[in-house]
Amino acid sequence: LGSLFLGPLRDYVVDTLMSDDMRSIAFIDYQQVRHLITDHMDGKADHGYILWCLIYLVRWDYLHRKIFI
């Protein structure tokens, strides 16, 4: 995942994790997410798995709110 997030999925990762949908999840430290993204994109660390989990959480939360609220 890490290499895909640096290449073809880079914009998707950044757009998803920097979105208002991400900010609406109250228990997520948005500044920490930004730090994870920056470290990953700068090649300082491979946070691919964590970023994937966060993307999944954002999408799940969005669909949950859309369907049930």
- pLDDT at res. 19: 93
In angstroms, the CA 34 to CA 14 distance is: 9
What CA–CA distances, in Å, run from 19 to 10, 13, 42, 43, 44? 14, 10, 20, 22, 23
Res 33: pLDDT: 96
- Angle at the Cα of 42 from the Cα atoms of 39 and 44, rounded to 5 degrees: 55
Beta strand ranges found along 1-69 (DSSP E): none
Residue range 1-59, pLDDT digits in tens? 788 899 999 999 999 999 999 988 989 999 999 999 999 999 999 999 999 999 999 99
pLDDT of 67 over the 90 cut = no
Residue 69 confidence (pLDDT): 58
User: Cα-atom radius of gyration of the chain, to the nearest Å?
Assistant: 12
What pLDDT does residue 37 have? 96
